[in-house]
Structure 1
Amino acid sequence: MATGLVVFDCDGVLVDSERLNVRTWGRMTTDLGLRLTPAEIIDTFVGKAYADNRLTLAALKGSPLDPDWERRFRTEFRASHDELEIVAGAREAVEGCLAAGYDICVASGSLRRALEYKLEATGLADLLPEELRFSSQEVERGKPAPDVFLHAASAMGYAPHRCVVVEDSLAGIEAGRAAGMHVIGYESDMTPHAWFADADLVLTDMARVPAAVTGLLAG
């Protein structure tokens, strides 16, 4: 019998999409006449639901987004993911958690269709079938609200204190904390170190996640 649930974020944790997304956000903001640095783009958009990011973008622009413009850039987001790769050690992390007897799922700020594409494109769909996928599209509020994590835990039959979230963004860390779950921060070259101040521990190697989960749940 499984002794805990490991809740993986998708972008930046399982799939190396954030650098592609930041590139596209850069083109989007420039096209709207905004001048944001890569660091500002990361702070503003990374780790948050697309529905929330589009509201932020409209606020920065000072007017509603043109639907045709938005459709064009959503197409560009999808096209950029043709370059998508798995995060190093991510498959080992998922397989290791399963081998250790933990249940797993993915809870993402991505739209459901985008989440499914990313898992298929990186060969993770076999380990994370449809019933183990949860999107912010299914809840009222995206991260940093805890809704998608609490939804995933409820659907999987776990109390929050028996769950470990693996996240790479500030919004995700805050969401995991607000959900009352243990939080592992995955730090990459895309993530400011200060984001992980409230994580239980920080890893730079995804393959170390199973051992870290065991340590947190044992404690």
Structure 2
Amino acid sequence: MLGLPDKIRGCLFDLDGVLTRTATVHAAAWKEMFDAFLRQRAEQTHTPFVPFDKVADYDTYVDGKPRADGTRSFLESRGIELPEGTASDTPDMNTVEGLGLRKNDIVLRMIRQDGVEAYEGSMRYVRAVRDAGLGRAVVSSSTNCQDVLVAAGFDGLFDARIDGIVAQQQHLHGKPAPDTYLAGARALGLEPAECAVYEDALAGVESGRAGAFGLVVGVDRVGQADALRAHGADVVVTDLAELFGR
């Protein structure tokens, strides 16, 4: 009924774009932050302002990655090198850390203003996974993961949470490395081959493939089914409810 091989005993879910409609919020926040930075830099260097593309740039450089990795990756694509900064940096500083903090402040403002919406099909699917007695973990690079889960109504549906805070504490590499998903499997007491990964980000499905998980489900919210398959998805759906009865 869940569209899973018999060997699967646990399910590892990404948050933004899989469980909640927050991927678009993150994309908008990245654009607001980067556009302001790029516009200021263009004025200072007397070069053309080329805005951040919240589809192409977001999907290619930042989606699914820890904030610092996404910030650094996009800047590199524009040939921009900034100091890394430190944990004591503030959002007004033009460092990798500072820009990441600036983006996070924007996300929090947007969530406070507009709330968080769950994908109805994902809510039904997670509840069905719970009712089937399978282990459940949410695996996200977000440091706001718990707040988003509560706001979207998912709180209490998961056995474990591996988020940006846990990744920092355990020194886990972010996606596309498999570290956070492997930690999710360990938290459920399972081997990777016994777990299914559910991801909408190209970096996320790469991490599922790299970790040799039992199934990698790509969730196509933006018309990138072929790219999800190319990066490692075994199955691609537009909504988790499509898995019922497969």
- Please give the range of the TM-score, normalised by the shorter of the 2 chains: 0.7 to 0.9
Q: 1:47 Cα deviation (Å)? A: 1.2
CA RMSD of aligned residues (A): 2.1
Q: Which amino acid aligns with 1:77?
A: V
Letter in 2 for 1:75: D
Kindly, what percent of the aligned residue pairs are identical?
Answer: 29
* 1:19 Cα offset (Å): 0.5
Deviation readout 1:165-190 (Å, 9 max, x if unpaired): 011010010001111111011111x3
Aligned mate of 1:121, from 145, 148, 151: 151
Deviation at 1:202, TM superposition (A): 0.8
Question: Which residue of 2 is the match for residue 37 of structure 1?
Answer: 53
Q: Report the CA distance shift for 1:98/1:28 in structure 2 as closer, same or farther (over 3 A).
A: same
With over 3 angstroms needed to count, the CA separation of the structure-2 counterparts of 1:145 and 1:210, relative to structure 1, is farther
CA offsets 1:94-118 (integer angstroms, 9 cap, x no match): 011112221111111112xx00010
1:200 matches 2:234: yes
| TM-score (norm: length of structure 1) | 0.85
Counterpart of 2:20 in structure 1: which amino acid? V
Q: TM-score, normalised by structure 2?
A: 0.76
Pick closer, same or farther for the CA change 1:148–1:50 going to 2, 3 Å.
same
Q: Report how many aligned residue pairs link the two structures.
A: 206
> Cα–Cα, structure 1 residues 123 and 116, in superposed 2: closer, same or farther, change >3 Å?
same
Distance in 2 (CA, whole Å) between partners of 1:3 and 1:25 is 35
Q: Distance in 2 between matches of 1:7 and 1:154?
A: 11
Partner deviation per Cα, 1:118-152 (whole Å, 9 max, x = no partner)? 00110101212xx5111244242100000001111
How is 1:55-66 mapped onto 2 (pairs within 5 angstroms)? 55-59=72-76, 60=78, 61-64=80-83
Paired residue for 1:28, among 15, 25, 33? 33
Does residue 76 of structure 1 match 2:106? yes
- Deviation, structure 1 residue 51: 2.9
Name the residue aligned to 1:217.
none
CA distance in 1, matches of 2:236, 2:228: 7
Which runs of 5 or more structure 2 residues have no equivalent in the other structure?
Answer: 1-6, 39-49, 93-97
Q: Structure 1 unaligned segments of length 5 or more: list them.
A: 213-219
CA distance in 1, matches of 2:245, 2:173: 31
Report if aligned partners of 1:187, 1:204 keep a CA contact under 8 Å in 2: yes
What aligned pairs does 1:1-219 form with structure 2 within 5 A after superposition? 4-33=9-38, 35-38=51-54, 39-59=56-76, 60=78, 61-64=80-83, 67-69=90-92, 70=98, 71-82=101-112, 83=114, 84-111=116-143, 114-128=144-158, 132-137=160-165, 138=167, 139-181=171-213, 182-188=215-221, 190-197=222-229, 198-209=232-243, 211=245
Tell me if structure 1 keeps the 8 A contact 2:138–2:161.
yes
Q: Deviations over 1:68-108 (max 9, x none)?
A: 32344321111112322112311101011112221111111
